[in-house]
Amino acid sequence: MPIGPLLEGESGFSPDDIAALTTAFEDTLLALQLIDRNDPVVLMVARHIIDLAKQGERNPARLRNFVVSQFQARSR
């Protein structure tokens, strides 16, 4: 699942924001070694990134780092 379809219903994101969120999403999947796009965790990652972006964060590296650290903390 790509993040794009989830962003279609969201307002307030510019094309640059969408590009940043897409980068964060792809980088997060790589960092978490999520390859199967049908894995429910992929959807959770996308929603988490979108939620953080709604709170104002648009930096792809910070989004990735925050989501990765939260998922790694949950798996311990």
Query: pLDDT of 50-68, one tens digit each?
Result: 999 999 999 999 999 999 9
**CA-only gyration radius of the chain, Å:** 11
Mean confidence (pLDDT) of the chain: 92
* pLDDT greater than 80 at residue 75: no
Spatial CB neighbours of 56, under 8 Å, sequence gap ≥ 6: none
Measured from the Cβ of residue 35, the count of other Cβ atoms closer than 10 Å reads 9
Query: pLDDT of 32-53, one tens digit each?
Result: 999 999 999 999 999 999 999 9
What are the boundaries of each domain within the chain?
13-37
